[in-house]
Structure 1
Amino acid sequence: MKKKIRIKKALQYFGVPAVIDSIKAQYFGGSELFSIKLDYLEHPLSLRLLGSDVPTFKKIFIEQEYDFHTNIPPKVIVDAGANVGFTSVYLANKFPECKIISIEPEAENFEVLKLNTKPYKNIVAIQAALWNENKKINLVDPGKGSWGFTAEDSDDNDADLIDAVTVDYLLEHYKLGHIDILKIDIEGSEKEVFDDTSKWLSNVNSIVIELHERMKQGCNRSFYTGTPGFNVEWQKGENVFIARDEEVMSPR
């Protein structure tokens, strides 16, 4: 199946030659990756003009949906559902001294994520899904593009299953101690992740999440029930921000 080319947006942000090269790559073979250098990024950024990388680029770098204020720079960020690494790169430039754990389960996305995050020594890239158990689960493509893969529980021993990890596993395995910012965009799996937060919530200072109630009923209830003790909340774009207090995070 041919990937959708968002011509108008791609032309607006990247120009005619880049779009022509992408169309040639789709129909005649070759690399789909396009490289761009933004003034405020330390290193060039790679993306695919075919599929969903362009609207993701717009969301993060044009609309600045992850722009917020902190009185104390964060030391640890977890980016779950990192896709091709745009948010991790954005935050690595915003907070260059911060350690960032960047998690993405889908193989093609993860390859681009590795390319984007490799120059940043403060980013650790992990191919896995965030879940409520440390196990193997299934990754499903519902046909929404590279940003729409969903995780499903599985009891099979299929070789194609992917690794799933919990927040408390990340805290322990990577010796994080705490998480200043937990960013989550996991296409409905937040329902499972926030079903029981008792083992890790006290070690998280703020959360940035895109909720997917439209994809999986119960996501909103699971998230809000599972996050007591957060006194600051606001929304920007598709993201909900919550923090324990304004010293941790507040709107810009």
Structure 2
Amino acid sequence: MMNLLTVVSTYRVEGVKAFIKLKLGRIPYMKFKDENSIIIYMPKYKQPIYLRRDTSDHSTFRQIFDAKEYAIDYPFLPKVIIDAGANVGLAAVYFSQRYPQAKVYSIEPEASNIEILKKNIKAYKHVECLPMAIHHTSDETLEIIDEGIGKWGFVTKLATETTNREKVVSTVKTIALQTLMGTCDIAVIDILKVDIEGAEMALFEKNYECWLPKTRCLIIELHDRFYPGCEERVFNVMHNYNFSFYKKGENWVFFNIDLNS
């Protein structure tokens, strides 16, 4: 938890000034910088949030904590949350703070993101990091591609789909949602957040009937700029099920009418 002694001992005069501004309501949180990181102290959060300087981390932070893209009114109390495409764990931290009773599974394939993710979720014992890529089938090997658009923009592809070998940074094993549900004894996914930079095209290719009817709320960002036609594919699948939906920020939000009635 944030306290004055910690801030003063670490940031001295700068910390005192920021702490006073926070207490007076002039700023929503305290933000400090060192050589490599941006460190953010937020009221009521268990630990600081760490972002990498000169990366897309700060944009992701603003989307979640300033624009409040995941501040959704759910007609249920979430107990199981799956964060597919967890990046550095900001959504997991947000959900864990808002729903401390929930188990959060953070699925992230890229190593440098995982390093910061683990740092950000350290104080949140109900958050579990899974260093894998979400896919329609488990135990496949995907290549991680750096498209040069920032740390939030790594994409995953089968080796047969990769056209530029110079962009391949590593490989990762896949896990299917139905496998995760079986392994972790998950009967219902309360919130499934999906931000996987176009890999939703593969996720909705097949086997979705194993997990989609058991999902109360799907929050998904679609990436037609990476995979033209993925929005059409996702909506073609969703129209076969009884979901209401609306757009919030960059995300489509789907509610399972059958599970929430």
Q: TM-score w.r.t. structure 1 length?
A: 0.83
1:117 paired to 2:121:
yes
Could you tell me how far apart the structure 2 residues matched to 1:97 and 1:49 are?
32
Structure 2 gap ranges (5+)? 1-27, 163-167
Could you tell me how far apart the structure 1 residues matched to 2:189 and 2:104 are?
10
Aligned equivalent of 2:205:
195
- Mark the structure with the bigger radius of gyration: 2
Could you tell me how far apart the structure 2 residues matched to 1:232 and 1:164 are?
29
Structure with higher strand content: 2
Q: Residues 141 and 174 of structure 2 are in contact (CA less than 8 Å); yes or no, is this contact kept in structure 1?
A: yes
Q: After alignment, is 70-79 or 197-206 more displaced? A: 197-206
CA shift in 2, pair 1:139/1:67, >3 Å: same
1:136 deviation in Å? 1.1
Q: Residues 230 and 242 of structure 1 are in contact (CA less than 8 Å); yes or no, is this contact kept in structure 2?
A: no
Aligned equivalent of 2:228:
217
1:174 deviation in Å? 1.6
Write out per-residue CA displacement over residues 129-174 of structure 1, whole angstroms, 9 at most, x where no aligned residue: 1112211110000101100000001269x99421111111111122
Write out per-residue CA displacement over residues 9-55 of structure 1, whole angstroms, 9 at most, x where no aligned residue: xxx9866x62xx3xxx3xxxxxx233221114232211112210111
CA shift in 2, pair 1:94/1:211, >3 Å: same
1:199 deviation in Å? 2.0
One-letter identity of the residue aligned with 2:232: R
- Pick aligned residue for 2:79 from 75, 81, 93: 75
- Pick aligned residue for 2:246 from 230, 234, 237: 234
User: SS of the residue aligned with 1:198?
Assistant: helix
Write out per-residue CA displacement over residues 69-92 of structure 1, whole angstroms, 9 at most, x where no aligned residue: 123211101000000000010000
Aligned equivalent of 2:148:
143
Size of the alignment, in residue pairs? Answer: 225
User: SS of the residue aligned with 1:234?
Assistant: strand
1:243 paired to 2:248:
no
Aligned equivalent of 1:4:
none
Aligned equivalent of 1:167:
177
CA shift in 2, pair 1:137/1:46, >3 Å: same
One-letter identity of the residue aligned with 2:241: G
User: SS of the residue aligned with 1:214?
Assistant: coil
One-letter identity of the residue aligned with 2:253: F
Q: Residues 138 and 162 of structure 1 are in contact (CA less than 8 Å); yes or no, is this contact kept in structure 2?
A: yes
Structure 1 gap ranges (5+)? 1-11, 26-31
Could you tell me how far apart the structure 2 residues matched to 1:218 and 1:145 are?
23
CA shift in 2, pair 1:239/1:246, >3 Å: farther
Could you tell me how far apart the structure 2 residues matched to 1:177 and 1:246 are?
15
Q: Residues 104 and 128 of structure 2 are in contact (CA less than 8 Å); yes or no, is this contact kept in structure 1?
A: yes
1:103 paired to 2:115:
no
Q: TM-score w.r.t. structure 2 length?
A: 0.80
One-letter identity of the residue aligned with 1:150: V
Higher relative contact order (CA 8 A, sep 6+): 1
1:153 paired to 2:187:
no
Aligned equivalent of 1:28:
none
1:42 paired to 2:46:
yes
One-letter identity of the residue aligned with 2:158: D
One-letter identity of the residue aligned with 1:237: G
User: SS of the residue aligned with 2:152?
Assistant: coil
Q: Residues 130 and 165 of structure 1 are in contact (CA less than 8 Å); yes or no, is this contact kept in structure 2?
A: yes
Q: After alignment, is 158-167 or 61-70 more displaced? A: 158-167
